[in-house]
Amino acid sequence: MVPWASDAAASTVMHERFIAGLVALLLCGLTGTALAADRQVLHKEQSLYHTIMIVSEPSRVCMQFSVRDGSRNQSCINPRHPKRMVFGYTRMMMAALLLAPEPQAVLVAGLGGGTLPTALAELVSDVRIDVVEIDQAVVDAAREFFDFKETERMRVHIRDARVFAKRALQRGRQYDLIILDAYSGDYIPEHLMTAEFLEEVRGLLTPDGVVAANTFATSRLYGYESATYRSVFGEFFNFKLRTSNNRVILATNGPLPTQAELHANARAWRKALAPYDVPIASYPRRLSTKLDWDLSKRPLTDQYSPANLLQRSR
Amino acid sequence: MRPRFLLINALAFCGGFSIMSLELLGGRILAPWFGSSIYVWGSIITVFMLSLSVGYLLGGWLSLHSPSLAKFGCIFLIAAAILVPVVYLAEPVMTWVFSKVEDPRYGSLAASLALFVAPTVVLGAISPYSVRLLVRRKEEAGKVAGTLYFVSTLGSALGTLATSFYFVLWFEMDTIVGVLAGTLLALGALGVGCRRLDRDA
């Protein structure tokens, strides 16, 4: 996927990039038609924030946010095995359970198909989950096509995540686990990638609360993002797999757990996570605290947060 | 007459530039409290349009009272002076509004009103006042107004582009607002300093 292809028109200033963008667009168009035979669009909707498409493929149904066919999948489900997590990153996000093994209060920012909150509700008895999603149309699609259910214990709030966080802070809410999954890749909500936002998130955590953020391993923002998390949480776990373009950041309000604790939690969760295809036992040794980014990058703040521009700059 | 014409046009250009630069920054100033949804932009654009409309009335009215380059320069000095508090007041004002108003639509509207009305009203006074300074015969009034609209709207276009493409990538927001205020201050001083040009007009 070429992240800037959709915005080729915006970078007309850089002539070569524009040409490259056109080529990429063309290629995307070609692959789109090539795939069309076994793909079927079940639902297409232009909401306030995205074009939402539900696409049926031979062994999965996916939610996509974009105009072009063949664009980035947000969420997929295998209808014959609805528990199985189709995406590597969704499985990787379950590593949060290594740090917060029995979360009682969870906040999820960004719903998509609802795979993560649904799995958590199934796995953790008595968990209460607040989902904050900006787009009502995403919630409707998740209900209709991904069997997402709102219950007493699973509440959905149609809000900007930043506004929700500030209000929750004002009301003194606390969460054991906060999942940040609000970046779709094509466009980043810049006010959700600043040190001030992460400070608010940290303020919402219980003393041993955990943040799990789904971000990109290959993006040009990698260094900035890492510096921002580091500035707020200090040392954190970076979780990457060779098979995935995603990286999951796992940060804690208190000190990070030891390898022994991680392994103990992995053993406790191994059986329960098997139906979800999550190889949790192999995760602890992949969690790294190495400073593997360009340390000259500055943290992003409310004063300086041009995430979308940085992602496209050289 | 030529330097006076150029000076007034240059000031009108920078007035237009500042208005749109501030408007774009407005969206980023509000986002941490009220999000970046469409209604936040709705609030900002409403407040800017409303303030400009009042500013036009104000500028027109001011131009009735012995207009001069010196007074024109003072409009810029006042705009600069009002812009600086935006930097310092933004956070307490938005925190207060956030604690009082639950709905982010009305919250963003209230915060925009509190932060952006004053500077935008003053900046809005620039256009009609500059028309008055350059018009000498009623036959040329339309042409003078057209040229000034062209120049100030071109400034607005460039202010929008420069701010959204480059300034936010190069500088912190407070720095950008500070530089805008500094530029307005310098231009105002230039207007006041060149007041002798009025004698040849």
Looking at the complex, does the CB of residue B105 fall below 8 Å from at least one CB of chain A?
no
Q: What is the pLDDT of residue B126?
A: 96
ipTM: 0.89
Contact flag B34-A163 (C-beta cutoff 8 Å):
yes
Q: Which domain holds residue B24?
A: 2-196
B56 at interface of A, judged by CB pairs closer than 8 A: no
CATH number at residue B175: 1.20.1250.20
Q: Which residue has the higher pLDDT, A168 or A71?
A: A168
Using a CB-CB cut-off of 8 Å, the residues of chain B touching A306 are 168-169
| B59: in domain | yes
- Minimal CA separation from A96 to chain B, in Å: 26
- Distance, in Å, from the CA atom of B183 to the CA atom of B162, rounded to the nearest integer, reads 15
Determine the structural domain holding residue A22 and report its residue range: 1-36
CA-wise closest residue to B153 among B51, B13, B49: B13
DSSP type of residue B164: I
Taking the C-alpha atoms of residue A266 and residue A280, their distance in angstroms, rounded to an integer, is 6
CB A113 within 8 A of CB A184: no
Q: Which two tokens stand for residue B45?
A: 């654009």
For residue B99, the chain A residues in CB contact (below 8 A) are 170
Q: How many residues does chain B have?
A: 201
- CB atoms B35 and A191 under 8 Å: yes
Predicted pLDDT at A156: 97
Indicate yes or no: CB of B36 within 8 angstroms of CB of A191: yes
Indicate yes or no: CB of B31 within 8 angstroms of CB of A162: yes
- A278 backbone dihedrals φ, ψ, rounded to 5°: -100, 110
**In which region does residue A112 sit, left (phi positive, over 0), alpha (psi from -120 to 50) or beta (all else)?**
left
Q: What is the mean pLDDT of residues A78-88?
A: 83
The span from the CA of A290 to the CA of A292, in Å, is: 5
For the cut 90, the answer to whether the pLDDT of residue B201 exceeds it is no
Is the model's pLDDT at A18 over the cut of 80?
A: no
Q: What is the pLDDT of residue A105?
A: 97
Chain A to chain B, count of Cβ pairs less than 8 Å apart? 58
* A243 pLDDT tier (thresholds 50, 70, 90): confident
Residue A15 clears pLDDT 50, i.e. is over it: no
Q: Is the pLDDT of residue A56 over 50?
A: yes
Whether A19 contacts chain B with CB within 8 A:
no
Would A62 be classed as within a structural domain? no
- Report yes or no: A239 and A247 within 8 Å, Cβ to Cβ: yes
A7 falls in which pLDDT band (50, 70, 90)? very low
Q: Is the predicted pLDDT of residue A187 greater than 80, yes or no?
A: no
Confidence check: pLDDT of A23 > 70: no
User: Is B162 part of any domain?
Assistant: yes
State how far Cα B8 lies from the chain centre. Answer: 15
Has residue A169 been placed in a domain?
A: yes
Contacts of A189 in chain B (CB under 8 A): 36
A197 in contact with B at a CB cutoff of 8 Å? yes
User: Which pLDDT belongs to residue A2?
Assistant: 33
Q: Is residue A76 part of a domain?
A: no
**Nearest of B85, B77, B70, B72 to residue B22 by alpha carbon:** B85
pLDDT, position A72: 67
Q: Say which residue, B85 or A37, is predicted with more confidence.
A: B85
* Length reported for chain A: 314
Rounded to whole angstroms, the Cα distance separating B102 from B170 reads 34
Q: What is the pLDDT of residues B131-187, one digit of tens each?
A: 999 999 999 999 999 999 999 999 999 999 999 999 999 999 999 999 999 999 999
Under the banding of pLDDT at 50, 70 and 90, the label for residue B13 is very high
> What mean pLDDT is predicted for residues A85-90?
84
**A298 and A207 in a common domain:** yes
Spatial distance between the Cα atoms of A199 and A229, rounded to a whole number of angstroms = 9
Q: Which residues of B touch A191 (CB under 8 A)?
A: 28, 31-32, 35-36
Which of A10-14, A55-59, A146-150 is predicted with the least confidence, judged by mean pLDDT? A10-14
- Residues A116, A255 share a domain: yes
Contact B169 A13 (CB under 8 A): no
Sign of CA dihedral B7, B12, B13, B14: positive
Q: Are residues A8 and A103 in the same domain?
A: no
- The number of folded domains in chain A is 2
Give CA–CA dist B107/A163, Å, rounded.
Answer: 11
Catalytic site residue from A181, A208, A292, A294? A181
Higher pLDDT, A183 or A96: A96
Catalytic-residue membership of A176: no
DSSP codes joined into one string, chain A: --TTGGGGGGGTTSHHHHHHHHHHHHHHHHHHHHHGGG-EEEEEEE-SS-EEEEEEETTEEEEEESSSTT--EEEEE-TTSTTS--SHHHHHHTTHHHHSSS-SEEEEE--TT-HHHHHHHHHSTT-EEEEEES-HHHHHHHHHHH-----SSEEEEES-HHHHHHHHHHTT--EEEEEE----SSS--GGGSSHHHHHHHHHTEEEEEEEEEEEESSSTTHHHHHHHHHHHHSS-EEEE-TT-SEEEEEEESSPPPPHHHHHHHHHHHHHHHGGGT--GGGSGGGEE----S-TTPPPP-SSS--HHHHHH--
Contact A166 B168 (CB under 8 A): no
A248: domain CATH number?
3.40.50.150
CB-based contacts of B3, cutoff 8 Å, min separation 6:
B194, B197
A159 contacts chain B (CB < 8 A): yes
Q: Which residues of A110-137 are buried (b: 16+ CB within 10 A; e: fewer)?
A: bbbbbbbbbbbbebbeebbbbbbbbbeb
Look at residue B7 and tell me if it is in a domain.
Answer: yes
The C-alpha torsion from B184 through B185 and B188 to B189, rounded to 10°, is -150
Q: What is the token pair recorded at B159? A: 């202010």
Domain membership of residue A285 (yes or no) is yes
What is the mean predicted confidence (pLDDT) over A235-241? Answer: 95
- One-letter amino acid at B85 equals P
Confidence of residue A12 (pLDDT cuts 50, 70, 90): very low
Residues A4 and A93 in one domain: no
Contact A162 B35 (CB under 8 A): yes
Worst-scoring range by mean pLDDT, A77-86, A155-164, B19-28?
Answer: A77-86
Tokens 């604790």 locate to A261
- Dihedral (C-alpha) B95, B96, B100, B104: value to the nearest 10 degrees? -40
Amino acid symbol at A243 = T
A195 in B contact zone (CB under 8 Å): no
Query: Does B201 fall in a domain?
Result: no
| Per-residue pLDDT, A3 | 35
pTM score? 0.86
Q: Is A162 an 8 Å CB contact of chain B?
A: yes
Could you give the number of structural domains in chain B? 1
